[in-house]
Structure 1
Amino acid sequence: MSTTLVRPRSDRMIAGVCSGIGRRFGVSANVVRLIFLLSMLLPGPQILIYLAGWLLIPKEY
């Protein structure tokens, strides 16, 4: 489990948000992606939250 939340340079699908969250909490990036996709079945601002993560979570250097 990492101590910081960053979007990694590798293991990205679109922007690395799910991969960064997975690394931060010690969960597989694919599990986070699956949870995100399943959450898309519910009404809510999921896309806006993803876009906010893309803008606010720093890139790994």
Structure 2
Amino acid sequence: MNDKKELMKSNDKIIEGVCGGIAEYFGWDKAIVRIVIAVLILSTGTLPGLILYVIAAIVMPKPPKQTKEVTKPTDFDDGTIEAEFREK
């Protein structure tokens, strides 16, 4: 069993998924991480914080692609089976 967590970008992203990936890795709330990162970027004079964010965006791996499950639409399902007809 491999329960090793890996730090990677998040699919739930606003810019590059860096903050979401950090939040998922540590189990924190994504909104709190985004606010803390924004405050840190603004308090460091913007440029150093932005450089670190860009480096993290380049270095962190992308998450694996998620496949969407294809389902048939059931909006018009009236309980009849395909090829079954009701007589009135």
Q: TM-score, normalised by structure 1?
A: 0.86
Percent pairwise identity: 31
Superposed, which structure 2 residues align to 1:1-61 within 5 Å? 3-9=5-11, 11-44=12-45, 45-61=48-64
Aligned residues: 59
Shift of 1:38: 1.1
Unaligned runs of 5+ residues in structure 1 are none
**Cα-to-partner distance string for 1:16-45 (whole Å, 9 max, x where unaligned):** 000000000110111110001111232251
Unaligned runs of 5+ residues in structure 2 are 65-88
Name the SS of the counterpart of 2:19 in structure 1: helix
Larger Cα-atom Rg: 2
Q: Which has the higher contact order (CA 8 A, sep 6+)?
A: 1
Partner Cα distance (2:54, 2:20) in 1: 14
| Bigger fraction of residues in helix | 1
Partner Cα distance (2:42, 2:9) in 1: 25
Q: TM-score, normalised by structure 2?
A: 0.61
